[in-house]
Structure 1
């Protein structure tokens, strides 16, 4: 049975790295779900173990944040922000700074994947109307969304997972991760501005008028009030997952927006991916092999809580299998990680996602949504900015984490 579990695990995470199996139209979510089903049918994961393997509070929090973000989108907030940014009277460099600030700031409070999903097409339209090349601004949006999301325990799926499994509190997390997240946003702006210097100018001197979408002020106020309530649940000892579900349920009570429409904006694929990977990694953990490997590394002087080990591991894993699957795997096989090491894992895995297009789901969402809007953002375009911005932000983050004593070198 151990050999079967190892084989399924390798195939699933190989599929995570490749994105799909050659000749088959099955994506990462389908691969993970197929692996979990095979393990269940083979008896490697009994029925009682299946239920225990899935961390439901993490899934509930993700679902609640997605519903809250749907409320903002249906209120027209994301579209309003995107068009206002593109139509600002400031020059291209100042516009780039605004994209970084808004994208990163929103992602620290709302799910970064939802932010870039909603803002990308309208930002493309606004930039095209203004006569600007959208590519550097899209790279900045994706990079800032990733970097900004590292600041809080609710900024992205991997942070939510780390926070739940590690039982981390909101304010200490923000104190530990907020500074490297801000430094990462600065690196994003500086890198894109430098790499694209001389090519941020207007392509056309007469911008085309493009009116921003109307804001539904009532539903926007409802979303803002819900966000405040959400932050209260996370920033106080109040129960988090129950609070998030209560906020999400309140968002579904509406006279204008049908529940089906709001739920249609939820990324169900990501939730299924999480659940399936919980099962696959739990099956591997049951064999005892990952725990033995981690212990051998520690005995050999390479414990995972050292920055010299965790940083390169996060960089390689995030840009092969993706930062969400990488964090989920580590959290399953890493026994009792120190709190400081969890802060380091959250920051390093998130910032590492900026290296290549495959490093984070937010990058892929920006590329796909931009392509649907007629803007082609290639692998090389992103890498020219992604590699230097990631390496610079990681160096600064490692320095901060070491200086503050969260993890040793």
Structure 2
């Protein structure tokens, strides 16, 4: 048992720090090594390890990543960014547009893919206009995290929650869409307050804008964009109106989009986040092995005796928020879902998980993959967003959005 606990703690230490101390191993590597270690030392048998991986979640996530990637290869994100770049509006209104676009795209396409595709384009848009890119990148990042919470297909943790609690597309939309929508004006107001005197760059910095936006007339493949859009709509309708398993719908959509005469399947698949898929598969095995010790169940019983019941939606919301900023939103959700008894109030628990993980992830850079992507990609183009700079606005945004979401969850719990 001591060995199992040690492996589990080392894996989640890596989730917390982003690397395994003393080794050049990132979060994904730690999850995979931890899974192998659990099998190699006989903590969990190979067959049980394989069965521990929820193929439905992996299939759903993979399929929707391919759908989202189709918008990248069609040039849709480039075209969208170019259209934003030509708007003759004030910085405050441009920030509103970027927040709305980022939130809208993230709600219906996997938010991490959206952030990867759009961050360099936003740096180019803002710097070419002589604007300080930091508030615009932060607004885009914050909106992608909170707006993605409102839809089953917005983020990986939403898909994990929906599969684990058996929530429908409309069920999750019903409990999370309104808070996700209300978060956007909160983000805009906070950034306006903090940056209204710091919109513009110094003259010397204005010359360094990266030329990453191509001519939209040359880069947009209209036929592929329309096809990707139609497939996305069909997927959403199928989620809502049919009883076909969601993973089969997503897989079918991915297969159709990969079967292409003009775009290489390799060009599509390279935008699928294989590292994230491996991380989730590894954590399924590590969590199952740790659960077999009986320690999590004992700990939950002890917590319940002192008044901390994870099946209380508001308690779950707060615990999820705290855990997400320690080990990340996807690992947090995966850790908590198996121990929830959701009969009777799964909607409130689902809202607690998706809003707790999505809204809290804006507090620190490492709170979400989207935050890490924005900061690291911006750095490549000479835009530095420090830990303090991120937290200065992220902390306020998180507190206000969490308070608003808590009210929503309390109302759901009382129904």
What TM bracket, shorter-length normalisation? over 0.9
Q: In structure 2, do the counterparts of structure 1 residues 241 and 211 end up closer, same or farther at CA, with 3 Å as the change threshold?
A: closer
Residue matched to 2:290: 284
- Counterpart for residue 395 of structure 1: 403
Corresponding residue of 1:17: 16
1:227 aligns with 2:235: no
- CA–CA distance in structure 1, aligned partners of residues 20 and 201 of structure 2: 42
1:176-255 correspondence runs (5 A): 176-201=175-200, 212-213=215-216, 214-236=219-241, 237-255=243-261
Worse-superposed segment, 69-78 or 233-242: 233-242
Deviations 1:101-158 (A, max 9, x none): 0100111100000001000001111211111111110000110000100001111011
Shift of 1:377: 1.3
The answer for the alignment partner of 1:36 in structure 2 is: 35
Shift of 1:204: 5.8
**Structure 2 CA distance for partners of 1:63 and 1:406, relative to 1, 3 Å:** farther
Q: Paired residue for 1:260?
A: 266
Quote the Cα distance in structure 2 between the aligned partners of 1:310 and 1:128: 42
Q: Please tell me whether the aligned partners of residues 294 and 334 of structure 1 are also in contact (alpha carbons under 8 angstroms).
A: no
Task: Please state if 1:350 is matched with 2:355.
Answer: no
**Alignment match, 1:369:** 377
1:238 is displaced (CA, Å) by: 2.6
- Match of residue 389, structure 2, among 357, 381, 388: 381
3-state SS of paired residue (1:320): helix
Q: Confirm or deny: 8 A CA contact 2:172 2:350 kept in the other structure.
A: no
Partners of 2:266 and 2:349 lie apart in 1 by 40
Distance, in Å, in 2 between the alignment partners of 1:22 and 1:39 is: 19
Q: Judging changes above 3 Å, is the alpha-carbon distance between structure 1 residues 406 and 105 closer, same or farther for their aligned structure 2 residues?
A: farther
Equivalent residue for 1:138?
137
Name the SS for the 2:262 alignment partner: coil
Aligned residues: 406
User: Structure 2: where are the runs of 5+ without partners?
Assistant: none
Contact 2:20 2:27 in 1 (8 A): no
Calculate the TM-score normalised by the size of structure 1. Answer: 0.95
- For 1:161 and 1:311, locate their aligned partners in 2 and report how far apart those are by CA, in whole Å: 16
For residue 154 of structure 1, give the secondary structure of its aligned residue in structure 2: coil
Give, in whole Å, the separation in 1 of the partners of 2:173 and 2:100.
17
Instruction: Indicate the larger mover: 271-280 or 343-352.
Output: 343-352
How far, CA to CA, are the matches of 1:195 and 1:315 in structure 2? 24
Structure 1: give runs of 5+ residues left out of the alignment: none
Q: Are the aligned partners of 1:99 and 1:140 in contact in 2 as well (CA < 8 Å)?
A: yes
Residues 273-316 of structure 1: per-residue CA shift (max 9 Å, x gap): 00000000111111111112212222332211335522331222
Q: What's the TM-score, normalizing by structure 2?
A: 0.94
Q: Superposition RMSD on alpha carbons, in Å?
A: 1.9
Q: Which residue of 1 aligns with 2:315?
A: 309
Contact 1:358–1:364 (8 Å) recurs in 2: yes
- What is residue 7 of structure 1 aligned with on the other side? 6
